[in-house]
A and B are shown apart, each in its own frame.
Chain A
Amino acid sequence: MSKRTPVTVLTGFLGAGKTTLMNRVLNEQHGQRIAVIENEFGEIGIDHELVINADEEIFEMNNGCICCTVRGDLIRIMGSLMKRKDQFDHILVETTGLADPGPVVQTFFVDDDMKEKLAVNAVVTLVDAKHIWEHIDDADEAKEQIAFADVILLNKCDLVSPADLDRLEARIKAMNGVAKIHRTINAEVEISKILEVGGFNLEHAIGVDPKFLEPEYPFEWGGNFQLPAGSAELVATQNPDPSMKLVFLPVSSGTEEDLAKAREQAVRIFSSLEVTEAAPGVAVSCDAQLHELMLTEGEMRWPLTVPETGYYAAFTEHYPEELDLKVIVSGSEVLAAPAAAYKPDHEHDEEVTSVGIEESADCDGQKLNAWLSALLRDKGTDIFRMKGVFSVRGNPNRTVFQGVHMLLDAQDGGPWGSRTRKNSLVFIGRNLDREELNSSFRKCLA
């Protein structure tokens, strides 16, 4: 097969900085000829020899399968581009803020002509670090854009505090564990980090982000409060969900070590079935009892009973900011120090998460094929992307799989060389059952 032209897909909500990034990519001296396919609402102001407007038309499939849905406009435009003698080194596709990246990426997997001549270099998603919170919970497009990304730029970092950035990054990593995340201001990033991603590089992703395979927690946030004995108060004004679980438990000091110890205790408490429902007005105790705050409209207040002066670690199902939740003592807010964001396990069905699996034993090629085929056939709608490097028994080379919904592309990944043989795979999607994926994959081991 002749060398395929790399395609980079740029996604992100309106105002996240796509056009800024695009201009940056085009104006930098990288010596590459780049064709740009801009969405129909693209801002004028891209000064480049070839900018084509696309209509973002979907080719629907008669069987209604979203996994086979492709972008007709891209097939037309790319088809025309590929018929030029003066070929481009790279093609950049900008989508509208509300575009579903699925059909865009699938176009390069499903359509025969596209598959032969083009290869996805990367899906690059720009995230407006300040405003993403307005969309991340509700807008499917925002979740999908994050889930499909190979590279995420947390842009406008100058408008957000470092703690909020950490929190955002933790949240994004929980959704997509393999994307490389760069923090940027004005979309300033080395161009090679956008244009030379090379499809996907799982090893690199795991290397860059060792937290990816870390355990998940039943809570998103933990923080240490120093509280006087007596009565304090919890105040919230937002209700992203009907309720939220939380626990306060005493710790001996305000150190990070103590918060980490308390975290393990909190995992056990969260897994217990004993939950005390607390409607606004009902007292919440600081004695390691799991409470479920019942959230209503408007301002909500819960008395907080503190048995003695000291340090108390709180663990909450959501970030306090999502509820605008504060601890108030004598009319003033008490801030948590230290505090930490955790990768949540997100039991709720609709959440987008990543599941990573790593096993050192070789797999059986036939079993692996059968497993992946069946899995993507049955769960393909919920699995946005799948990436894996496999060590297949009897094969001296690495086997690389990449999937988009139900579509799977297998390639020879070259010799293992000095690397340790192992299987590393990642699923990004909705309703993913971590244990089931782990146990069913283990059955593929030789």
Chain B
Amino acid sequence: MEMDDYPLDLRWSADGLWLAALPSHGRILVLDEDGNILASLPGHEGGNGAISWHPRRAALATYGQDATVRIYEMPPQDPAAAFPFSKDHSGPPSPSPSLVIPLEKGWAERVTWNADGSLIAASAGRTVFVMNAATGAIEHRLSEHKSTVCDIAWNPRSPRELTSVCDGGARLWRVGETKPFGHFDWGGASLIVTWSPDGRWVVTGDQTPSVHLYDVRRKHPLHIQGYEFKVKTLAWEGNGEWLASGGSASITVWPCTGKKGPEGAKPIQLFGHLKEVLALDFTRGDSVLVSGGRDGLLLLWMPHRSTDPALITRRASEITTLRWSPDSSSLAFATADGDLTLCRISKK
């Protein structure tokens, strides 16, 4: 299936019935698990930024350089866009958003729903806006970033805590407070951030080839170097026991349990890609890792059993994004030329 432009992200709804596909420009597609296009949402003028599903409901937030957050309820309620196909069969329906939230203009990098679905955070330039997901009212404005915010992540265990990264490192915020409750300034720029499912670790992938981990409770930072490229992908296994990281042609999987986490521990290294690893995702139950690379390889790993991969496919162009469905039965991946594939994976 063709996407309008370079695929930025793929996200499954919490129930696994809907897959949203975000290209860098053009229409945002919503598909069912069989790959039928159920809705085609208008792209954001100036380029798309990010998408995020409600943690429980089939509601999708989209955000882009036109400085608006739009929320769409699935299936679309808009009678003009009959579900699942428009009457004249001219193409998939293009529903109207149930809510449009205008923000201030600024580089739009991320939109993300919090753990209980009550709040949405979006970054616009150097500011993170926290909105009431029901009304769209801007409840908080988190500033104090010294440069454009590159990424934000909510604490999966606390619906009022989030982290943002920019040049300088990570900030930890509690909604309602104007100052961050934690600073992890390491002096350089962090590009992506993720919060472990158990809420213990905040991890950044950095512009200088490195990863920073922060044990939030102990306020203890760890710096992992030795990567070849800037680190653009990180993936958690289970509750946060293991962390897989890209940043090289090899995948490094760090143990994050025990008092010290990865400190002094030996990681599992997975060799199989020929070029930089660009996308990683673990299945939720049985720790199957899928990786996509600049080499066009899509590989499957069971890192606790073997360091040998299984080849799923090889594509001519790089694999930019991939995602397991919540029940791990389907895998969606996309390549730089805009090709989106949905496959059923039998892990036997």
A and B associate: yes
| B-binding residues in A (CB < 8 A) | 55, 57-62, 64, 68, 70, 72-73, 75-76, 80, 83-85, 111-112
For B187, what are the chain A residues with a Cβ–Cβ distance below 8 Å?
60-62, 64
Q: Does B271 contact A (CB under 8 A)?
A: no
Smallest Cβ distance from B7 to chain A, in angstroms?
A: 9
At the interface, yes or no: B181 with Cβ under 8 Å from chain A? no
The residue on B at minimum CB distance from A85 is B5
Task: List A contacts of B186 (CB < 8 A).
Answer: 62
Q: Output the residue of A55, A83, A84 with the most chain B CB within 10 A.
A: A83
User: A112 and B230 in contact (CB under 8 A), knowing A60-B187, A72-B167?
Assistant: yes
Q: Does B40 contact A (CB under 8 A)?
A: no
Q: CA A39 – CA B260 in complex, angstroms?
A: 45
Looking at the complex, which one of B4, B8, B207, B208 makes contact with A72 (CB distance below 8 Å)?
A: B207
CB neighbours of A62 from chain B (8 A)? 186-188, 208
B167 to A59, Cβ gap below 8 A? yes
Q: A72-B150, A80-B47, A83-B5 are in contact. List 7 more A-B contacts (CB 8 A).
A: A58-B147, A59-B147, A59-B207, A60-B167, A72-B147, A85-B5, A111-B207
Give min CB distance, A65 to chain B, whole Å: 10
Which residues from B are CB-within-8-Å of A84?
A: 5-6, 24-25
Q: Across the interface, do B208 and A61 meet the contact criterion of CB distance under 8 Å?
A: yes
* Closest A residue, CB atoms, query B147: A57
Please, how many angstroms separate the alpha-carbon atoms of A57 and B5 in the complex?
27
What is the CA–CA distance of A80 and B49 in the complex, to the nearest angstrom? 10
- Our pick among A64, A76, A111 for the contact of B230 (Cβ within 8 Å) is A111
Closest to A53 in B: B105
B119 located at the interface, meaning its Cβ lies under 8 Å from any Cβ of chain A in the complex = no
Please encode chain B, from 166 to 181, with 1 for each CB lying within 8 Å of some chain A CB and 0 for all others: 0110000000000000
**Are B148 and A60 within 8 A (Cβ)?**
no
Known A-B contacts A60-B187, A76-B107, A83-B6; the reply to A70 vs B207 at CB < 8 A is yes
Q: Is the CB of A80 within 8 A of B125?
A: no
CB proximity to A under 8 Å, residues B154-172: 167-168
Contacts of A73 in B (CB 8 A): 107, 148
Which residue of A has the minimal Cβ distance to B187? Answer: A62
> Nearest chain B CB to A84's CB is how many angstroms away?
6
Complex formed: what's the CA distance from A72 to B190 in Å?
10
Task: Find chain B residues with CB under 8 A from A57 CB.
Answer: 147-148, 167
Pick 20 A–B contacts, CB within 8 A, sort by A. Answer: A55-B148, A57-B148, A57-B167, A58-B147, A58-B167, A59-B188, A60-B188, A60-B189, A61-B208, A72-B150, A72-B167, A73-B107, A76-B107, A80-B24, A83-B8, A84-B6, A85-B338, A111-B230, A112-B229, A112-B276
> Once bound together, how far apart are the Cα atoms of A75 and B25, in whole Å?
18
B189 touches A59 (CB 8 A): yes
Instruction: Name the CB-closest residue of B to A76.
Output: B107
CA distance A60 to B169 in the complex (A): 11
Residues in A neighbouring B229, C-beta threshold 8 A? 112
Contact between chains at B148 and A72 (CB < 8 Å): yes
Give bound CA distance, A332 to B276, whole Å: 74
- Residues in A with CB closer than 8 Å to B6 are 83-85
Complex interface bits, B324-336 against A, C-beta within 8 A gives 1, otherwise 0: 0000000000000
B residues less than 8 Å from A83 (CB atoms) = 5-6, 8, 24-25
Residue of A nearest to B3 (CB): A85
* Chain A positions within 8 Å of B148 at CB level: 55, 57, 72-73, 76
Q: Which residues of B contact A70 (CB under 8 A)?
A: 207
| Residues in A whose Cβ lies below 8 Å from that of B47 | 80
- Taking CB atoms, residues of chain A closer than 8 Å to B8 are 83
Contact mask B222-236 → A, CB, 8 Å, 1/0?
000000011000000
List residues of chain B with CB within 8 A of the CB of A75.
207
Bound complex: CA A104 to CA B125 (Å): 20
Chain A nearest CB from B197 CB (Å) reads 28
For the complex, what is the distance from the CA of A73 to the CA of B107, rounded to whole Å?
Answer: 9
Interchain residue pairs A-B with the least CB separation, the first 10: A83-B6, A62-B187, A62-B188, A83-B24, A59-B189, A57-B147, A112-B229, A85-B5, A59-B207, A59-B167
Shortest beta-carbon distance, B56 to chain A, in Å?
A: 31
> Interface 1/0s, chain B 1-37, versus A by CB < 8 A?
0001110100000000000000011000000000000
Contacts of B189 in A (CB 8 A): 59-60, 72
Cα–Cα, bound, A80→B186 (Å): 26
CA of A72 to CA of B207, assembled, Å = 9
Complex Cα–Cα for A72 and B25 (A): 21
Contact of A61 among B4, B5, B107, B188 (CB under 8 A): B188
Query: From residue 280 to 299 of chain B, which have CB atoms closer than 8 A to chain A?
Result: none
Which residues of A are found within 8 Å of B230, using beta-carbon distances?
A: 111-112
Residues of A within 8 A of B4 (CB): 85
Please indicate the chain A residues that have their CB under 8 angstroms from the CB of B207 in the complex.
59, 70, 72, 75, 111
Inter-chain contacts of B24 with A (CB < 8 A): 80, 83-84
Residue of B nearest to A80 (CB): B47
Inter-chain contacts of B188 with A (CB < 8 A)? 59-62
Chain A residue at minimum C-beta to C-beta distance from B337: A85
Bits for B110-138, please: 1 = Cβ < 8 Å to A, else 0.
00000000000000010000000000000
**Per-residue A-contact encoding for B210-250, CB less than 8 Å = 1, 0 else:** 00000000000000000001100000000000000000000
Determine the distance from Cα of A72 to Cα of B5 in the docked complex, in whole angstroms.
23
Contacts of A55 in B (CB 8 A): 107, 125, 147-148
Nearest-neighbour CB distance to chain A for B227, whole angstroms, equals 11
A-contact 0/1 string along B29-58, CB 8 Å cutoff: 000000000000000000100000000000
A72 surroundings in chain B (CB, below 8 A): 147-148, 150, 167, 189, 207
Q: A78 CB to closest chain B CB, in angstroms? A: 13
In the bound complex, residues from chain A placing their C-beta under 8 Å from that of B147 are 55, 57-59, 72
- Name which of B4, B167, B207 has the most chain A CB atoms within 10 A of its CB: B207
Specify the chain B residue showing the minimal Cβ separation from A64. Answer: B187
Q: Which residue of A lies closest to B336 (CB)?
A: A83
Give the docked Cα–Cα distance between A59 and B207 (Å). 8
Identify the closest chain A residue to B209 (Cβ): A112
A80 partner residues in chain B, CB cutoff 8 A: 24, 47
Distance, CA A76 to CA B150, complexed state (A): 9
What is the distance, in angstroms, from B104's C-beta to the closest C-beta of chain A?
14
Contacts of A61 in B (CB 8 A): 187-188, 208
List of B residues within 8 angstroms of A68 by Cβ: 208
Task: Find chain A residues with CB under 8 A from B25 CB.
Answer: 83-85
Q: Find chain B residues with CB under 8 A from A59 CB.
A: 147, 167, 188-189, 207
Query: How far, in Å, is B294 (CB) from chain A's closest CB?
Result: 9
Which chain A residues border B125 with CB–CB below 8 Å? Answer: 55
Q: How far is the CB of A181 from chain B (nearest CB, A)?
A: 36
B109: chain A residues within 8 A (beta carbon):
76
Closest to A75 in B: B207
Smallest CB separation, A315 vs chain B (Å): 50
Report Cα–Cα, A329/B82, bound state, in Å.
96
Minimal Cβ-Cβ distance residue in B for A79: B24
